[in-house]
Amino acid sequence: MVNISFMGNEALIKSLKSNLSSSVNFSVTSKADVIIVAVENLGDFSTLPKNFEKPALLCLNTNDQRIVQYIKNYNFSGIIPFSASKEQLLNKISTLLSIQQTKTVNENEVIKARILAKIDNIPPLPIIAQELLKLTRNDETSLKKIIDKIKTDQGISSKVLKLVNSPFYALRKEITSIDQAAMLIGTSTIKNIVLSVSIEEFYKKNFSLYGTTGNRLWEHSHHTATISELIAKKLKIDTDSSYLAGLMHDIGKVVLVDFLVKEVKNSDDEKQQTGLTHPEVAAFVLEKWNIGKQIINSVLNHHTMTDNNFNVILYYANLIEKDDESRLDLIKELEGRLKIDLTELINILAQFRVDHDDA
């Protein structure tokens, strides 16, 4: 049933509700599909907003010609006389909804086209990240070559050392060089940290419509990647790909946030406003960056439970990182599903909390 809310003349509203009671649901304005505005005299306009959140149908019970001038000041979607039959009123409501739906679809198509154009012009991954990914794909690449490549970028190197010396890694002494860091926490970990810090610039935006900050969103991606890597290691699944999937799973928000007009709580809200979700946008971005299909598929489905263990890793890693209250239950659930021991993960999550407190 259609959700209807009412504004205007109380006596008319009472009559309209009696007439429509068996055919529609009565709702508050925020949840209504259509607002019926009942007007009998000029004074009824004094209580009305100039703009309505939803399609507004003006129901008139007057022949006062002065009302025409008043109507021009309001964004009514349609007008119907109060004397109209129940069937006529319901048909008018149905027509308004069809028009609104078509309008929304058309607007979303325009926004989608703009989003896709923005993706087409998104900056490439930083050179250091591109080169590391190429080296990683080559089985003959030595660990020394990876470290040497990292050391050529002083800006990235300093960011890596800053992260390595954070409470997250809980090292007992200060690390002052990439070589020293590689010896203590491993070349593969250093390489993944480089990938993390190399995309940090993309998150230097206002993410208030997502209810977060760019730094927290980047931090969430870095932590999700670390969780994904650890779980993949337990399953003997490609750890580099799992890390990269975790790191990139929310990259779509970097593009989508520029097209939002109000706060979003979930992917459905994104879809309603833009016609796309952040996993869909992320898939387009990663394809442009020549990231592997397995990673793209995992990112595209990171809010959906599947039977694919590679995808399952990211699904749970994302939830575990975000949900302080349920994370132990989620870990236990994942242990049972994948038949693995994740005690080590609980210790790592304790460091996440330290990191959040220090941020």
Q: Whole-structure pTM over 0.75, yes or no? A: no
Pairing of strands 56-60, 78-81: parallel
Q: Using one digit for the tens of pLDDT, what is the confidence trace for 125-166?
A: 888 888 888 877 766 667 788 888 888 888 888 988 988 888
Q: Using one digit for the tens of pLDDT, what is the confidence trace for 70-114?
A: 888 888 989 999 999 999 999 999 988 887 777 766 777 888 888
Q: How far apart are CA 28 and CA 24, in angstroms?
A: 13
List of domains in the chain: 3-119 (3.40.50.2300), 124-358 (1.10.3210.10)
Q: How far apart are CA 254 and CA 3, in angstroms?
A: 34
In a structure prediction context, what are the per-residue pLDDT tens digits for the chain, which is 359 residues long?
899 999 999 999 999 999 998 899 999 988 899 999 999 999 999 889 988 888 999 999 988 888 878 888 888 989 999 999 999 999 999 988 887 777 766 777 888 888 989 998 899 988 888 888 887 776 666 778 888 888 888 888 898 898 888 877 777 789 899 999 888 888 888 889 999 999 999 999 999 999 999 999 999 999 999 999 999 999 999 999 999 999 999 999 999 999 999 999 999 999 989 989 999 999 999 999 999 999 999 999 999 999 999 999 999 999 999 888 899 999 999 999 999 999 888 877 776 654 444 43
Angle, CA 348 vertex, CA 344 and CA 349 arms, to 5°: 115
Buried b (16+ CB within 10 A) or exposed e, 157-183: bebbbebbeeebbeeeeebeebbebbe
Nearest Cα residue to 112 out of 255, 270, 274, 261: 274
pLDDT at 105: 66
- Sign of the dihedral defined by the CA atoms of residues 300, 305, 310, 315, in that order: positive
* The pair of three-digit structure tokens given for residue 355, joined into one six-digit string: 């990191």
pLDDT at 358: 40
Angle, CA 321 vertex, CA 313 and CA 209 arms, to 5°: 115
pLDDT at 111: 87
Q: How far apart are CA 307 and CA 93, in angstroms?
A: 44
